[in-house]
Amino acid sequence: MAPFEKESKMMNENQKTVCVTGGTGFLGSWTIKRLLQDGYSVNATVRLPPAVEPNISCDIVLEGKRDISYITNLPGAAERLKIFNADLDEPESFCPAVQGCYGVFHMAHPLDFADNEAEEVKLKRVTSALRGILRICADTKTVRRVVYTSSISTAAFKSGGGVTDESSWTDVEAIRSMKMFGGSYIVTKTVTERAAIDLAAELGLDLVSVLPTWITGPFICPNFPDTVLASLALLIGEKGFYRHLKESSVVHVDDVARAHIHLLEYPEAKGRYIVAAAEFTIQEICDFLSAKYPEYPMPLWKDLTPVKLSGLSTKKLEATGFKYDNGLEEMFDHAIATCKHKGFM
C-alpha cells in the first residue's frame, strides 16, 4: 500500500467527509454508492422542495415529486450520508455541504441537449455557480482537492486531426457555427471547464477534471440516463443517437466513479484526465450486440454522419495506476439488466 493510501485509511471521520454536488443524477448517485462502500462520509447536494429542511438525515425525502430514497436507502447511508439543499442559481447555498469536507466532487450541471434554454442563460448560471462553489472550497481551508466532472466533449471536437488527449480543447466557435444537436451543452461544458481551471489556479485550489466518454452500465436513479440510452440506441431503436455510435467510446459508470475517487486520493494528480474504456465503430458494436443479444435485430444505419468520439488517449490516467474493471460485455450486460428491471426495455 502506498504511503498516501495508508494516510487515507487513517483519516478521521471529518477528513473522510466529501461533498458530491448533483447527488441525484446518474453519475452522482452511483458515485455516492461507491463512496459509501469505500467508507467515506458523504454530503450530497440536491434541490429540495421548500417544505423540506436542509441537512436532513436519511429518511425518505421527496425532491419535488421525485422520491430520492434510492440514495438515502443505500448501504451505509443512514450513518454516513447527509442531504443538503442547494441550487446552482444560488451558489452560496452549497456552503453548508462543503464546510469541513476533505474533497469535493462537483458533478452538478444542467442537461439540456434539446436547447430549451438559451446558451448564454445556461452559461451564466453554470459558470456563476462554479465560481461560487470554488470560492467556498478555497475559503473552507479543509478541502484538499476538487474533482470536477467535465466531458470528453470538451476535448474531442478540436481543430485538426490526430489523437485526442488532455492537451486537446474543443473549438467552441466551430461547434456554435455547426448548430448541432446538443451544441450548447458542448460549449457550456468547454467554457465552464476552462473557467474552473483558471479560477482554481487564481485561488490556489487543487483541482483536477475528469473527461469521461459515453457512460453506460447500471443505474440506481429512476430516470433513463441519456448516456445509457445512447449506448443502447441500436437495441431500442433510438435513431437520433445512431450517429453518435458511428465512431465512439464507452465506459462503465462504476469505472468513472472509481476514477473520480482515485484522482481525489492520488497525490500527484494534476490537470485533466480522459476516462475511456472501449472504442468501437458502429459495425463493430453491431457485430458485438448481434452475437451477444441475438433477440435484438440490428437496424439499418448506413450513410450516417458521425459525431466522432474516438481516437482517444487514456495514457495519463493509466499512468497513475488506475485500471478499468469493466469491458463491453459488463457494460451492456449491466445496462440491459437494469433497463429490464426498471421496465425501460
Residue percentage of the chain with pLDDT more than 90 = 66
What kind and span of H or E run contains 120?
Answer: helix 119-140
Looking at per-residue confidence, does 238 or 331 come out higher? Answer: 331
The pLDDT of residue 304 is above 90: no
Question: Which pLDDT band holds residue 9 (cuts at 50, 70, 90)?
Answer: very low
DSSP letter, residue 116: -
CB of 46 within 8 A of CB of 84?
yes
Residue whose cell numbers read 445556461: 122
pLDDT at 97: 97
Question: Which pLDDT band holds residue 131 (cuts at 50, 70, 90)?
Answer: very high
CB of 216 within 8 A of CB of 244?
no
pLDDT at 82: 96
> How does pLDDT run across 31-80, given as a tens digit for each residue?
999 999 999 999 999 976 554 444 444 444 444 445 889 999 999 999 99
| HSE-CB of 301 using CA atoms within 13 angstroms | 26
> How does pLDDT run across 310-320, given as a tens digit for each residue?
689 999 999 99
The pLDDT of residue 322 is above 90: yes
pLDDT at 111: 59
The pLDDT of residue 5 is above 90: no
Question: Which pLDDT band holds residue 258 (cuts at 50, 70, 90)?
Answer: very high
H helix and E strand count, the chain? 14, 12
pLDDT at 105: 98
pLDDT at 124: 84
C-alpha cell at 171: 473549438
Question: Which pLDDT band holds residue 1 (cuts at 50, 70, 90)?
Answer: very low
Q: pTM for the full model?
A: 0.89
